[in-house]
Amino acid sequence: MRKLYLLSALTIVIFSAFEPNKETANTDAASEVCMQDGYTEIENSALPETVAMALSTDYPKAVISKVYMNKDRQYKLEVILKDGVLDTLYADDDVKWLKM
């Protein structure tokens, strides 16, 4: 009987030691997706004021969810529109909306 308890405890320790860290796996996958299309996520506050003003002018009810930037200083904006739909907009530093 004592061996059964020892075997059970040892089994629990072994299987809990090899459990993958789920949080790390999810963040790595998200970073990988962003890097594949050439955009990396930046802080919303890093978005140039001119682009933010153009967004508020052209899409007055839109709320910025996430902001990404590529090496050409083009911005990918994930926004929530007035009807609650998530949409993606692209703009450059010259405040031109890009078609992607």
Question: For 26-84, how does the pLDDT look when each residue is reduced to its tens digit (9 = 90+)?
Answer: 554 454 445 567 899 999 999 999 999 999 999 999 999 999 999 999 999 999 988 88
Rounded to an integer, what distance in angstroms lies between the CA atom of residue 41 and that of residue 63? 16
Alpha helices in 1-87 (DSSP H): 2-17, 22-36, 49-58
Task: Decide: helix, strand or coil at residue 36.
Answer: helix
> At 14, is the pLDDT very low, low, confident or very high (cuts 50, 70, 90)?
low
